[in-house]
Amino acid sequence: MTIDSAFSKPQKLPVTQIQLPELTEKGIKLWLLRLDQTHPFISGNKWYKLKYNLEFAVDNGYRTVLSFGGAYSNHIHALAWAAKEAGLNSIGVIRGEPEYAANPTLSDAQEWGMQLKFVNRQDYRLRQDPDYIQQLCNSLPESLQPVLVIPEGGSNKLAVKGCREILSEQVLQHVKPESVILACGTGGTLSGVAVSQPSLNILGIPVLKNAEFLYDDIRNLIQSSGEADPQNWTLDLDGHFGGYAKCPQDLTDFMQRIESECGVPLDQVYTAKMLLRTLQMIKQDLIKPGSTLLALHTGGLQGRRSVYGSKN
Ligand SMILES: Cc1ncc(COP(=O)(O)O)c(C=O)c1O
């Protein structure tokens, strides 16, 4: 299996208009680009974030890719599959207890050949420390060397390069949006989307509390990709609904409503927060009435299994 076949995707991704009374009331057209349908396992933004990273690993003779994530990490899940398809070993450094290894996300990852290493919160905080990373790599056997370390969430300059491909001309011509809205974790996806479309407004909705740090992280990611910051992006810091991975009842109710009224499944960590916050902003006129918006469904549906069990 080559990188090209591992990363093949449909020529055309569905883009659907969301019909809800609160949108009609404000004369807003809201479209949803279904990146979740990019690939069954390298879903949503992961396809774009991982493509050039894995290509780099293969082209430069790495035997192993190593990355970091939580116990339900979409990134770890997608990386395990992509690495297997690309013929690479994979290691997931997971925040938390070894018991998590039995959950659906990490069970899949292991089935696809990923080795897991569980670390406590204190050690996990060192995930960007060069000495810690070097130590981790050195502790691996010779048969796995050399090791390419991909940051948490996959966000680096190669992810930004991949995310520049998210908005196709076809979709933009069809929807003609004034603004693009997406959920942010590490900001890699927003960085790529922003530099790819300097004339559009890009609104990021961080799903973490106290996400002010993302302003610098996004500027740094854009800079690392060799692009000038188009300064066309803003963040709304009020869409975290209690914090990362917090899932209050109004959020699960909203997921059920969107699934039954619009036929769109959302995930509770990223896409449901992004869409619910968008509707709140529309209601409060924080988004201009009469605008045309394009929201990105960045995937994450595998993580629904932590809420709904393994059938989802
Ligand atoms: C489903 C989903 N949507 C959005 C994001 C946020 O992307 P980023 O970390 O690039 O901001 C993530 C995390 O990578 C994710 O898994």
Cα(41)–Cα(25) distance, integer angstroms: 37
Instruction: Please tell me the residue having the least CA distance from ligand 1 atom 15.
Output: 300
In three-state secondary structure terms, 15 is strand
User: Environment class of residue 285 by beta-carbon count within 10 Å: exposed (0-12), middle (13-18) or buried (19+)?
Assistant: exposed
Cβ of residue 44 lying under 6 Å from some atom of ligand 1: yes
Say how many Å lie between the CA of residue 150 and the centre of ligand 1. 15
Q: Give the number of residues written for the chain.
A: 312
Computed on alpha carbons and rounded to an integer, the radius of gyration of the chain in Å comes to: 19
Cβ of residue 186 lying under 6 Å from some atom of ligand 1: yes
Cβ of residue 156 lying under 6 Å from some atom of ligand 1: no
Distance of CA 305 to the CA centre of its chain: 17
Cβ of residue 298 lying under 6 Å from some atom of ligand 1: yes
Cβ of residue 153 lying under 6 Å from some atom of ligand 1: yes
Say how many Å lie between the CA of residue 203 and the centre of ligand 1. 14
3-44+157-308 has which CATH code? 3.40.50.1100
- One-letter amino acid for residue 149 of the chain: V
What does the DSSP 8-state code read for residue 110? Answer: H
CATH architecture, domain defined by 50-154: 3-Layer(aba) Sandwich (3.40)
Say how many Å lie between the CA of residue 298 and the centre of ligand 1. 7
Structure tokens at 228: 């000038």
Cα(288)–Cα(76) distance, integer angstroms: 37
Among the atoms of ligand 1, which is closest to the Cα of residue 299? Answer: 1
Shortest CA distance to 156 belongs to which of 227, 232, 62, 222?
A: 222
| Partners of residue 93 on adjacent β-strands | 68, 117
Say how many Å lie between the CA of residue 122 and the centre of ligand 1. 23
Asked whether the CA dihedral 143, 148, 149, 154 is positive or negative, the reply is: negative
Distance of CA 196 to the CA centre of its chain: 17
Say how many Å lie between the CA of residue 186 and the centre of ligand 1. 7
Output the pLDDT for position 11: 76
Cα(298)–Cα(301) distance, integer angstroms: 9
Instruction: Please tell me the residue having the least CA distance from ligand 1 atom 14.
Output: 153
Cα(22)–Cα(20) distance, integer angstroms: 6
Furthest CA-CA distance within the chain: 63
Shortest CA distance to 271 belongs to which of 23, 35, 19, 13?
A: 35
Q: Provide long-range contacts, Cβ within 8 A and 24+ apart, for 22-29.
A: 22/279, 22/282, 22/283, 23/279, 23/282, 26/282, 26/283, 26/285, 26/289, 26/290, 27/289, 27/290, 28/282, 28/287, 28/289, 28/290, 28/291, 28/292, 28/293, 29/291, 29/292, 29/293
Same topology between domain 3-44+157-308 and domain 50-154: yes
Q: Which of 105, 189, 193 to mutate to test the pocket of ligand 1 (most atoms within 8 A of CB)?
A: 189
Among the atoms of ligand 1, which is closest to the Cα of residue 183? Answer: 4
* Mean pLDDT split into 10-residue runs, the chain, 312 residues: 73 92 98 94 94 97 98 97 96 96 97 98 96 96 98 96 96 97 98 98 98 98 96 98 94 97 97 98 98 98 80 43
Among the atoms of ligand 1, which is closest to the Cα of residue 155? Answer: 10
CB-CB contact of 181 with 203 (8 Å): yes
Say how many Å lie between the CA of residue 128 and the centre of ligand 1. 18
Where exactly are the structural domains of the chain?
3-44+157-308, 50-154
Output the pLDDT for position 311: 44
Output the pLDDT for position 309: 64
Cα(6)–Cα(57) distance, integer angstroms: 14
CB-CB contact of 162 with 51 (8 Å): yes
Instruction: Please tell me the residue having the least CA distance from ligand 1 atom 3.
Output: 298
